[in-house]
A and B are shown apart, each in its own frame.
Chain A
């Protein structure tokens, strides 16, 4: 199982979500992608994105304006 990290800090909507999409597309089932984003919309967006794309949101936290999400590819 592979792990990936995306630094999408400073990127605005829809940048982070498209980056996440591209990485998940390349990943294998069960791989985990961690992404860090500063766009405040991402917290809600990533939840909707995971629900829609059926990938699992393992963790979602925010620290000093940086939202970090861990997503497992379904």
Chain B
């Protein structure tokens, strides 16, 4: 086991939880750790690029895609979402208090060399294609995750 390795599974696409995941991940990377984040199921929505589109989606896949938040700016809150007013309030407070916003945090995470892996199985189930994900994301499966998690000192599920 390596103390200097951490993994985080991001299962949720709720803004507050995703923020927590990225604060811990960038913090760990700044401590000199090797960090891998696995995005699975709803967590995949964090990685969707609002500007990108994918071809060849089935009707159901398109419907699924339309019902889920497309990208990091559209994530709901886990509590007090109030049809999207909650996240707006939260972002306003974050800006006022000079807390780094999620898009910057993701950019920072990539700069710090944090590996971001999208789960291929849940991508398939939810009809999310590689072409619609943000740049720099790898595709991996359970073996990739377990391989990294087995070596890591801390593994979180968010």
Binding site for B on A (CB under 8 A): 10-15, 17-18, 20-21, 48-49, 52-53
**Complex-state Cα separation, A17 to B29, whole angstroms:** 10
Size class of the B contact interface (CB-based, 8 Å):
10 to 19
The contact sample of 12 A-B pairs, CB cut-off 8 A, is A12-B98, A12-B99, A13-B27, A14-B26, A17-B27, A17-B30, A18-B29, A18-B108, A20-B30, A21-B29, A21-B32, A48-B31
Q: A14 and B23: CB pair below 8 A?
A: yes
Q: A52 and B31: CB pair below 8 A?
A: yes
- Tell me which of A11, A17, A52 contacts B98 (CB under 8 A): A11
Query: Which B residues are in CB contact (< 8 Å) with A13?
Result: 23, 27
Q: A52 and B32: CB pair below 8 A?
A: yes
Query: Which B residues are in CB contact (< 8 Å) with A21?
Result: 29-32, 112
Across the A-B interface, how many residue pairs have beta carbons closer than 8 Å? 36
Q: A14 and B27: CB pair below 8 A?
A: yes
Query: Which A residues are in CB contact (< 8 Å) with B108?
Result: 18
Complex A-B, nearest 7 residue pairs according to Cβ-Cβ distance, in ascending order? A21-B30, A14-B27, A18-B30, A12-B99, A17-B30, A52-B31, A53-B32
A contact face: mostly helix, strand, loop, or mixed: helix
Binding site for A on B (CB under 8 A): 23, 26-27, 29-32, 97-100, 108, 112
**Complex-state Cα separation, A17 to B100, whole angstroms:** 13
Residue of A nearest to B111 (CB): A22
**Complex-state Cα separation, A14 to B114, whole angstroms:** 15
- Tell me which of A12, A14, A17, A52 contacts B97 (CB under 8 A): A12
Residue of A nearest to B97 (CB): A12
Query: Which A residues are in CB contact (< 8 Å) with B26?
Result: 14, 18
**Complex-state Cα separation, A21 to B100, whole angstroms:** 17
**Complex-state Cα separation, A29 to B30, whole angstroms:** 18
New contact pairs (18) apart from A13-B23, A52-B32, A53-B32, CB-CB < 8 Å: A10-B98, A12-B97, A12-B100, A13-B27, A14-B23, A14-B30, A15-B100, A17-B27, A18-B27, A18-B29, A20-B30, A21-B29, A21-B30, A21-B31, A21-B32, A48-B31, A49-B30, A49-B31
Residue of A nearest to B99 (CB): A12
In angstroms, how far is the closest chain A Cβ from the Cβ of B7?
Answer: 18
